[in-house]
Every structure is written in structure tokens, then in C-alpha cells.
Chains A and B, each alone.
Chain A
Amino acid sequence: MERIPILKMGDYLLVTIQVDMHDRLAMTLQDDLTARIVSARAKGVLIDISALEMVDSFMGRMLGDIAGMSRVLDAETVVVGMRPAVAITLVELGLSLTGVHTALNVERGMQLLRSRIDARGREDAGTA
């Protein structure tokens, strides 16, 4: 069965979506990713959607869901590389993905992820 690969890099998980997502694939990704976050004890998830040319409301919701799930599992999610057309479509669909962090490209996304995880580490240390 077709799967989207999830790469582990240190504390982060890297997901690059390079095929057109259909609903089944999206559900599989959710399952795989949540399982992987737990097993790898990942601190951050980076989802690269720069190859994605079309989104529908399901896809938009799925991105939001994944971010929510990761947050529950104590991992930050950053979605990177969204195309202008995709961004406009999502906004027109009323899905502005509040709660999902976004960045222009992978490099920026990694920066953002690091700074967020550092900030969270300081927070935890402060409250402990």
C-alpha cells in the first residue's frame, strides 16, 4: 500500500508530501505520524507541502488535526512551503489553520521549530 515516508532527524520528524493526497493516504499518514511521534519521542514535526498543488477542505482539516494531535503528544508542528494558490484556496474555504505554525521553506521551518522548542524548554524549566 502507498505510504508517505516519515524521516527522523534528531529530535524532529520530517514529512514531505510529494504526491496528490487522497483521503485514505491522509488517514494513513495521521496514524503513522502519531505512532512515530510516540515511538521516536519527537519534539517537532515538519510537514513540507511545497509539491502540493491542490487542497480540499478535507486536506486542510487534516493538516489542522495533525497539528492538534502533535501538540497533545508534546511535539510542535510546522507546515512549510505552501504555494500561494493553495493558501488562497484554504482561506477561501474558511480554513486558516489557526494553531498551525507555518514557514516559507524548510530552512525557515527548522529555525522556527528550534526556537519554539527552545522556548518551550525554558518554560518547562521555569515552571519546574
Chain B
Amino acid sequence: MAKDGSTMLTEILQQDDQAILQQWLERQLSAPGLRTDRLGRSELTEHSRRFLVLLRDAARSGGTDIHGAAWASTRQMLDDLSMTRAQQGFSPSETALFVFSLKEALFDRLRARNEAADTTAAMIWHTTTLLDKLGLYTTEVFQKGREQVIVRQQQELMELSTPVVTLWEGVLALPIIGTLDSARTQVVMESLLQRIVDSGASIAIIDITGVPTVDTLTAQHLLKTIAAARLMGADCIISGIRPQIAQTIVHLGVDLGTVVTKATLADAFAVALRRLGLTVARVNDQQRRRDRADDAERSSGHDRSEN
């Protein structure tokens, strides 16, 4: 009498589970490029055993629709597995291989049973469909995990790359690193304006040394930021304009209007100090000698206290 594939699979999973686990584990461990550094043998064994148990329970009732309720716990297990492996840096195929490598073990058990040809065929078809679905499912989850990692990194990058630095009382500096797109502009603008309110600064220096290219859109974003800062009563100076960027700006016909631009942050800072009525002066020789003597005395005193 011919049995259908589902019954056969359940039967094999039930009766030969130890042998299957053994062979499956061997298969996984002998796979080329197994990351033994990231995944211990005991952990793998535990994963495999749990998956086999879940598969057996689900296969008994669930058919091949792996999105059904009967497969919920199996899916949950694969979710966790894929997510962990995605974070550990496994490749998608290495992750999917976890499921696919089970086939060989199952089919070997089947061969040993010498069932009728149509039963064997039905069982192979059923199992292949099922395991393919589950394998692809791990890939999907894996992909999702990776995307989450990317999104998180993007956010971190966004926050990291827009610091507002206080250069002096009343002078803020905004070193922009990386391309200035709309999303970044929003973050930059918000953090700059907030800092202007908090610190009462009247001059902000926007340093674009780290901006790789300036196109019309980037220039527009810059001008927007400057206009918003001006509305809050702060003047902006753009600094760090590289020669190529100066050329691009002129070639594109970007009108920076009345915005003060400087080649280096130092020049911009000098302008800011001048506007605040401050100067940087070299101390005279006598003063310097006295300072140096003070320093020497302090350091020798320090040495003595150490000894």
C-alpha cells in the first residue's frame, strides 16, 4: 500500500530521529567553510535537535504551508537562528544550508527502508517542498535582519556625523562630514538651531571640508541652513571650501549670495573673533619666559613628589 509523503516523513522523523540527527550534524560539521569560530559544536547540536523536534511535530499536522499556525514555533526558531547568524556575520547561504543539509540525512533513511517507488517519490517531493520553503524562509529572515542592521547603522551615522562644536563663547562650528542630503540637512539644521538657542551663539561656522561633492542641491541645503540660522539671529560663515569645490560651485552657477566663505576653518574663526571684537595676540618674550619658568618649576615639583 502506498503511503503519502507527509505520513512517510513523519514516520521517518519519529523512528529514526537519532540517526538523522547524527548524520545531519556530521554533514553540517563537514561542510566547507564552517565557522567553528563563531558557532560552537554544542550550540549547533542543540539547534539541530530542537529543529528536528519542532519539524516532527509540525510535519505531523501542518502540511506544507509553513506560514500556517502549525508551523509557528518552527518559524520562531528559524527567526531566532537567522537573526543571530545575521548578526554574527554568516552569509545567507551558510544560514540556509542549516535547513538544506537535512535533506541528505532524510533521504538516506528513506533509501534504507526500501519502500515502494511511488511512496519514495511522494516522500521526496513532500520533503523537498517543505525544506525548500523553510530554507528560503531563513534567507528572508536573514535579509530582514541585515536590513535592520543597515538601518541602525544609518541612524548612528547620521547622529555621529553632525556634531555642533563650541569654538569660543558665541562661536559655534559645524563640521559636516559626508554627503549633505535632505535628511541630513534636517538633522544638521535642527541641531544647529537648538544649539544657537542653548548657547546664545551669534556666529556659526559651517565647515564643509568633509563634504565630497557640492552640487546644486547640496548648495541649496546649505543656503537653507544658513537662512534658518539667520532667522534665529546668528550669522553663518562657510569654510573648508576645497579648490575643486570652488570650481564646481562657479561652474554650476550656484549663487551663495551674501554668505561669507573662507578657505579654511582658521580663517573663518579669525573673522568670527574679529566680529566679536576679540583678538588673538602673541604674548611678549618676557611673559613667555616667566610662563616657561613656571611650567618647569611645576613639572620638577611633580617629579619630586613622584620620587
Contacts and interface: CB of A to CB of B under 8 A. Distances in A.
B230 A102 contact: yes
B190 A103 contact: no
Contacts of B197: 83-84, 104
Contacts of A34: none
B231 A91 contact: yes
Contacts of B229: 87
Identify the interface centre among B193, B200, B230, B231: most chain A CB within 10 Å of its CB.
B231
B223 to A, nearest CB: 8
A88 interface: yes
A79 B230 CA distance: 11
Interface in B177-203: 186, 189-190, 193-194, 196-197, 200, 202
Given A84-B190, A88-B190, A88-B193, A104 B228 contact: no
Contacts of B200: 104-105, 108
B228 A88 contact: yes
A108 B202 contact: yes
Q: Is the interface of B mostly helix, strand, loop or mixed?
A: helix
A60 B57 CA distance: 68
Identify the interface centre among B202, B229, B230: most chain A CB within 10 Å of its CB.
B230
Interface in B222-264: 224, 227-234
Nearest to A102: B233
Interface string A47-64: 000000000000000000
A88 B189 contact: yes
Interface in A71-102: 79-80, 82-84, 86-88, 90-92, 96-97, 102
A105 B189 CA distance: 19
Interface of B: 186, 189-190, 193-194, 196-197, 200, 202, 224, 227-234
5 contacts: A80-B233, A82-B231, A84-B232, A91-B231, A102-B233
Interface of A: 79-80, 82-84, 86-88, 90-92, 96-97, 102-105, 108-109, 112
Given A102-B231, A102-B233, A109-B233, 11 more contacts: A79-B231, A84-B190, A88-B186, A90-B228, A91-B228, A91-B231, A96-B227, A96-B231, A104-B196, A104-B197, A104-B234
